[in-house]
Amino acid sequence: MNQKNYDRKQRYGIRKFAVGVASVTIGAVVFGVNPVLANEQGNSTVTAAENNNQGLSELPKEVSSGSLAHLDSELAGKLATAKDNGVEVDQDKLKKNETTEAETTTPTNTPAADNTPAPADKPETDSATTEASNKDQDKEEEGVLPRDYYARDIANATPVVEKEDVETNAKNGQRVDLASELNTLKKLQNATIHMEFKPDAKAPDFYNLFSVSSDKKKDEYFTMAVLNNTALIEGRDANGAQFYDKYTDAPLQVRPGQWNSVTFTVEKPTAELPHGRVRLYVNGVLSRTSLKSGHFIKDMPDVTHAQIGATKRASNTVWGSNLQVRNLTVYDRALTPDEVQTRSQLFERGDLENKLPEGAKISEKEDVFEGGMHNQPNKDGIKSYRIPALLKTDKGTLIAGADERRLHSSDWGDIGMVVRRSEDKGKTWSDRVTITNLRDNPKASDPSIGSPVNIDMVLVQDPETKRIFSIYDMFPEGKGIFGMADQREEAYKQIDGKTYQILYKEGEDGSYTIRENGTVYTPDGKPTDYRVVVDPVKPSYSDKGDLYQGDRLLGNIYFTSNKTSPFRVAKDSYLWMSYSDDDGKTWSAPQDITPMVKADWMKFLGVGPGVGITLRTGPNKGRIVVPVYTTNRTNHLNGSQSSRIIYSDDHGKTWHMGGGVNDNRTLYDGTVVDSSTMNNYYAQNTEASVVQLNNGDLKLFMRGLTGDLQVATSHDGGLTWDNNVDRYDVPDVYVQMAATHTVQNGKEYILLANANGPGRKNGYIRVARVEEDGQLTWLHHHLIQEGEYAYNSLQQIGPDEFGLLYEHHAPGGVPYTLSFKKFNWDFLTKERISPKEAKVKYAIQKWPGIIAMEFDSEVLVNKAPTLQLANGKTATFMTQYDTKTLLFTVNPEDMGQRITGLADGAIESMHNLPVSLAGSKLSDGINGSEAAINEVPEFTGGVNGVEAAVTEEAPEYTGPLATVGEEPAPTVEKPEFTGGVNGVEPAVTEEAPEYTGPLATVGEEPAPTVEKPEFTGGVNGVEALVTEIPEYTGPLATVGEEPAPTVEKPEFKGGVNSVLAASNEVPEYRGGANFVLAASNEVPEYTGGANFVLAASNDLPEYKGGVNGAEAAIHEVPEYKGETKPVLAAANERPAKKLSLGQGATYQAPAAKQNELPNTGSKENTTFISLGLVAGLLSVLTFGKKRKED
């Protein structure tokens, strides 16, 4: 503890002692003395004889054991080893009645050592600032603790500006003027701005929280603001130049209509930070770091205004909104991530505990394909499994398919196509069966990519022949879709009506061909003595493509580096097929179906992984349909991806290409695109899942770049698609999704599974009703898997039962493990039983005169509440301990009284629920038990022959402590995660260069960040976002909820919910719902999602991912490793921080006011009074919660 805080808390203890604050009682807590036994009257006294030659009694069980429900250990720890001005009091010696000579020491001004950075460059403060900074100290010296005492427990950080309990509304022009603080703010080099606020539920799209600005230069300002719920910062110099990297697409959002905290820190340049650093936190979680500069208000020479809310920019006032501001504090240094977490701890929140309704069922997670941990392979030598495919066969067998990625989780290298089977609906699974795994190039120049690639599987069964097909992508050795040749290489040649694969020979220009039995023919049609294995026989068909000359193995035609074979195939993408006729137990050798379906203009052709379907009705009944997507050779992944299907009408003997969704498609503005030639970023659609409706239509659920769900419709079995692509208010975070069709109770529905975000996190199952016109009405959505979640596959496995195979991994796991869950229709459609109010779990006396009231969900005190008791008395609020616990003082004689309500003040729910105190009672023991009794009279009888009650003391509680459900509070530190996001290679630890590569849709690759063409088409024609905070030229709103109006709306350049072009300036949002910000060249440091769960760790995690899975540059803060919460409805909130009674997280109660002093004047009290005086002097120990040892 630093000297300042020690002295402050000591002064508080002395003041309380001086006015009669529990000198004897606190001494009793310190030393374990109980002056009034539980079986005695309140005015009983303790005789000298009772204490002569006796050691002090044991601490009460609930103190000595540390068993204080979810409260942590500082009380027990501090009381067991009390300190008075630096002299340690040995509790054990006291208990043994050993005398210890204590030397009197004089406190010095030297602060105790701690790990908190010393303040740097503290500015001079004027009298007003000094008065503000001493506000809390004055309160404490007057015997009043701040309402958030523990959240303010930050060492060596001086508030230089502080405002509490102000509002911006119509009465004050939505603005609180802070001009008197401007000179103080201009002196800061290192600083923290912390703001606690509650916006309106329908706040404007853009509004300011705190800002400084100029009455001369409208583009010279600093703002901490909110855009479409995303917290951001922006600073500009006198010329309007940006100080910081872009924050408009920072990942963390505030919760509209709820209490939030946003914290900004700035640090000047140092040797370690040559340009300085700024950070932005939302509700205590680091959202983004910028190393561009450490500029701040001191670098804005012309600023003349400081304000909360509406901002004066030159002659205009802009960016206003209605805000409730609980606190604005500016500190004289940059708080550390841990300190920001402490300061914001009351704004953490978890999910409301929802219970499943009767009949709703969901199984536990079963890991079917288990990936490695901590960058190490699993027991079978496999690092990663990816790309799930789940099929229910006609026999009821479940077949789970996967990419088995031996070396890493990337989309290239040694990948096998594998399956496992379950004949009991997923309870147990067979050993792995390998469909195919081509052998590695033993001399590859890069072993990590030194294998021909099979990737992305679709499973589908023909209901008539019972044959099961597996169709998957194939690439020669290299980086798959990212290693294709720039120029087209012809892959096949027609000769005498037959199609043969072309081989390219080193040093020659002609095209060799592979003909019957694998014999290689010369360009002029002559057979050679070279032979290619086209009918492989080795396990996993690993010898497919091996090249022999006579009986000598030369190499493999799919190898491309350091080849020992003179031949290779075209560097192109291929589509292969295997099949099983025994319910998935064995599989045929791969067959190349590429020449049947791939057109010359197609650069890439790949499947939409998961499952296909067989049409069950209509003129094309029996048609096997498999979703695929393509790119053209002009723009490849940057603007030409298009969803489509391939199909077979002859039970899989031949295959044909269906129409593309973007074939001859007219966009809303009249622009016509075609998949063979298009270059339109926003009109792209990629991996898809296909279903058939009862009316015969096909629905294609497509991964896209607009941030919401795109669905295409075909009326002819996939040959053509409607020009209009339906858009639904369902999140699409640019990752594969899975859909299936079902009929329940005579009605038709679609089930959709996908990641809800942020990024590839939080898997949801959604239910849509199919209307008569084929449109979808979305009814329900439920979280199926928290945390990491990417690709998935969904099947109906019973009349009202469904199975899901999906990608997930725990912290430290290699992306990914493929897990299985099953659930029923009631789980999907019945509403959860959710809390209707925040209730008191218990109100117990933890220490003499101090009640801890814990609620079942997070609450917040703004106006100090006073509890009304049934006997007409009251209990007084002290402070808020954590997100669920409030501390009150109470008279001893009021213990056992019921709480009837609030006499004054308020308690607010962080979930906006009503708060109920009904039925709660002041109890003097944990869980309502009676207080500890030191002397129990012997019981010699009984009632009706019943034996006497046993008087043994209850055993000490040694179990875990919890604040949420049954989960114990973690006490270990988590190792730093050094990988990327969603399985990308480990992130580099230097600043990331601008990404100029292609857009990836296979596996982990992210959306591109290359320059995007101006989009003049799109759907629904929403106006564009401007790339600068607009100047407000109209009047301020002065009535109710109305935000400050905006003017001059520029032309929209994107589509609905379009991706915003990279920019360092704050745009004014003018679009519609589900606006999605762009993939940018700046790398965000966020690991989870909006409003996600914080990992149990001493270090605050920082996001290291990119946009939709791109690798991140790690600046310096350990990556977030916890699981995240979903964004929809009430499920987007963080759980309460769990506190431990172990080391590193401690609790100490603040001193409570004693309502009466012990009786005096009795001869028998002499010894007791002496002990009381000693106890009183020692009672000045610190009663504050700390997270680090003194």
The rounded percent of the chain whose pLDDT value lies above 90 is 63
Q: Scan for tokens 């910028």, then name that residue.
A: 290
What is residue 94's predicted lDDT score, i.e. its pLDDT?
31
Question: Alpha carbon of 256 to those of 89, 205, 227, 521, 908: distances in Å?
Answer: 51, 11, 11, 70, 16
Residue 1157 phi, psi dihedral angles, 5° rounding: -85, 160
Q: What average pLDDT score do residues 904-913 get?
A: 97
Q: What are residue 627's DSSP bridge partners?
A: 645
The burial of 497, by beta-carbon neighbours within 10 Å (0-12 exposed, 13-18 middle, 19 or more buried), is given as exposed
Averaged pLDDT score across all residues of the chain = 76
Residue 184 burial (CB < 10 Å; 0-12/13-18/19+)? buried
Which three-class secondary structure string do you get for 225-294? EEECCEEEEEEECCCCCECCCCCCCCCCECCCCCCEEEEEEEECCCCCCCCCEEEEEECCEEEEEECCCC
Cβ proximity of 238 and 217 under 8 Å: yes
Our CA angle for 529, 532, 538, nearest 5°, is: 130
Residue 438's pLDDT is: 98
Residue 1059 contacts residue 1079 (beta carbons within 8 Å) = yes
Q: What is the pLDDT of residue 925?
A: 63
Where does the pLDDT of residue 144 fall: very low under 50, low under 70, confident under 90, or very high at 90 and above?
Answer: confident
Sequence-ordered list of residues with C-beta below 8 angstroms from that of 1012, at least 6 positions apart, any chain: 681, 1059, 1061, 1078
Task: Return the bridge partners of 781, or none.
Answer: 766
Q: What is the pLDDT of residues 607-658, one digit of tens each?
A: 999 999 999 999 999 999 999 999 999 999 999 999 999 999 999 999 999 9
CATH 2.40.220.10 describes domain 491-569: yes
Helix (H, G, I), strand (E, B) or coil at 314: coil
Classify the phi-psi angles of 97: left when phi > 0, otherwise alpha if psi is within -120 to 50, otherwise beta. Answer: left
Contact criterion met (CB below 8 Å) for 383 and 403: no
How far CA 719 is from CA of 64, 430, 658, 724, in Å, comes to 76, 38, 5, 15
Neighbours of 266 (CB within 10 A): 28
Q: What is the pLDDT of residue 699?
A: 99
Specify whether the CB–CB gap between 1021 and 690 falls below 8 A. Answer: no
The secondary structure of 933-994 as a DSSP string is -S--PPP---STTPPPPP-PPPPPP-S---SSTTPPPP-SPPPPP-S-STTPSPPPSSPPPP
> How does DSSP classify residue 833?
B
**In angstroms, rounded to a whole number, what is the distance separating the alpha carbons of residues 1162 and 42?**
15
**Which pLDDT band holds residue 352 (cuts at 50, 70, 90)?**
confident
Higher-confidence residue of 425 and 44: namely 425
Angle at 99 between CA 95 and CA 103, to 5 degrees: 120
pTM of the predicted model as reported, rounded to 2 decimal places: 0.61
Catalytic residue, chosen from 237, 245, 339, 411, is 411
Q: How far is CA 1089 from the centre of its chain?
A: 3
For residue 100, how many other CB atoms are within 10 A of its CB?
Answer: 10
353 is catalytic: no
- Give yes or no for a contact between 466 and 454, defined as CB atoms under 8 angstroms apart: no
User: In 3D, which of 555, 575, 577 has the Cα closest to residue 564?
Assistant: 555
According to the model, what pLDDT value does residue 108 have? 36
Average pLDDT over residues 1129-1143: 32
So what's the pLDDT on residue 1104? 40
Residue 237 appears among annotated catalytic residues: no
Which of 38-52, 302-316, 1104-1118 has the largest mean confidence? 302-316
Give 758-814 pLDDT, tens digit per residue: 899 999 999 999 999 999 999 999 999 999 999 999 999 999 999 999 999 999 999
Q: Give the Cβ contact number of residue 1020 at 10 Å.
A: 13
Using pLDDT thresholds of 50, 70 and 90, give the confidence band for residue 512: very high
Residue ranges of the chain assigned to CATH 2.40.220.10: 491-569
- Rounded Cα gap, residues 384 and 8, in angstroms: 55
* Partners of 505 in the β-ladder: 567
- By three-state DSSP, how is residue 650 classified? coil
- pLDDT value of position 130: 44
Statement: residue 30 has pLDDT above 70: no
pLDDT at 745 over 70: yes
CA 18 to chain centre: 49
Q: Which pLDDT does position 365 carry in this prediction?
A: 98
pLDDT recorded at residue 1002: 42
Segment 930-959 mean pLDDT: 37
Q: Which of 477, 687, 1004, 1111 is catalytic?
A: 687
d(CA 197, CA 255): 10
181 SS3 class: helix
Angle at 87 between CA 86 and CA 93, to 5 degrees: 145
Q: What share of the chain is helix, strand, coil (3-state, %, to 5)?
A: 10, 30, 60
Distance from chain centroid for Cα 1051: 34
How confident is the model over 844-892, as pLDDT tens digits? 998 899 999 999 999 999 999 999 999 999 999 999 999 999 999 999 9
User: Is residue 129's pLDDT more than 90?
Assistant: no
CB of 815 within 8 A of CB of 371? yes
Q: Which among 1080, 1057, 1064 is positioned nearest to 1008, based on CA atoms? A: 1080
The dihedral built from the CA positions of residue 214, 219, 224 and 225, taken in this order, carries a sign that is positive
Q: What is the pLDDT of residue 1003?
A: 41
pLDDT score for 536: 98
pLDDT attached to residue 1030 = 42
Q: Are 271 and 261 in contact (CB under 8 A)?
A: no
Mean pLDDT of the region 133-150: 67
Residue type (1 letter), 265: T
**Residue 143 confidence (pLDDT):** 58
Rounded to an integer, the average pLDDT of 379-383 is: 98
| Residue extent(s) of CATH 2.60.120.200 domains in the chain | 154-347
Band (837; pLDDT cuts 50, 70, 90): very high
Task: Indicate whether 88 pLDDT > 90.
Answer: no
Express each pLDDT in 293-336 by its tens digit: 999 999 999 999 999 999 999 999 999 999 999 999 999 999 99
Q: For 199-204, what is the mean pLDDT?
A: 96
CB atoms within 10 A of CB 545: 26
For residue 1129, give both structure tokens.
């409805």
**Residue whose pair of structure tokens reads 């009703």 in the numeric block:** 769
Q: What is the mean pLDDT of residues 263-283?
A: 97
Query: Residue 453 in contact with residue 404, Cβ under 8 Å?
Result: no
CA nearest neighbour of 807 among 820, 823, 795, 790: 790
Q: Which CATH number fits domain 838-913+921-928: 2.30.30, 1.10.3470, 3.40.630, 2.40.10?
A: 2.40.10
- CATH number for region 154-347: 2.60.120.200
What are the tens digits of pLDDT across the range 1161-1173?
Answer: 333 343 333 334 3
Per the model's pLDDT, the better-predicted residue between 102 and 711 turns out to be: 711
Name beta bridge partners: 222: 212, 235
Which pLDDT belongs to residue 131?
A: 45
Q: How far apart are CA 196 and CA 1020, in angstroms?
A: 37
The C-alpha angle 269, 190, 1099, rounded to 5 degrees, equals 90
Q: Is residue 1001 left, alpha or beta, with left meaning phi > 0 and alpha meaning psi from -120 to 50?
A: alpha
In the chain, list all ranges with CATH 2.40.10: 838-913+921-928
For 357-382, give the secondary structure using H, E and C. Answer: CCCCCECCCEEEECCCECCECCCCCC
Using omega within 30 degrees of 0 as the cis cutoff, is the peptide bond preceding 758 cis? yes
The tens digit of pLDDT for each residue in 1080-1101 reads 333 334 444 333 333 333 333 3
